[in-house]
Structure 1
Amino acid sequence: MEKVNASQEYYDNRVVAEPNNAEAWCIRGMYYNNCYGQYAEAMESCNRALELDPEYGVAWFLKGVILTNMNVTDEAALCFENATRYDPGLAKDVQFVVGNA
């Protein structure tokens, strides 16, 4: 549990130190999505990343994953479309998630 708390503090501190860094917000969102399913916090971070960089494919992919985890598949599909539009290299990752949803 100590490692989880230390990691959470690390990601929280990273966005405080770099509030205009879309990648930092996206990585923080990944952490919250993957750690105990904190989807609301993950979505907040993901949305902030997309505010900073609306064409950030990885953030769109993450948003799709979060929505999939929340069983909001129609919205997730739109996010995955944006993800592959802005970063065609994500197509296999999208297919993996969609195929396992």
Structure 2
Amino acid sequence: MRTPRSRIQRRGIGRRLRIGTRHLDRLFTKHFGASPVEVAATRSLQRAKRLIDETSLPLSEIPFAADFANVPRCNDAFKATYGRAPSIFRSRLLSSRFVGI
């Protein structure tokens, strides 16, 4: 899924490297096994998980801090990857921390 924002970012990266966006895509796929958009999405998702794990930042703010466009998109990606909603993930994480007390 390519959004206008991802096209702009890819174009900007390509310009800085003095290569076209198609070649940039090929290089990413060759070296990372994924397109620049997929790498960015994975990075955002990992950042969201880390923010849930390591901060008390409200769940409504985490998607924006992790560079998602909106809350539902973050929630959907989180559920697809980790098998549960961010709120359930955080509540289980908090309950497991209090078991040892």
TM-score (norm 1): 0.30
Larger radius of gyration: 2
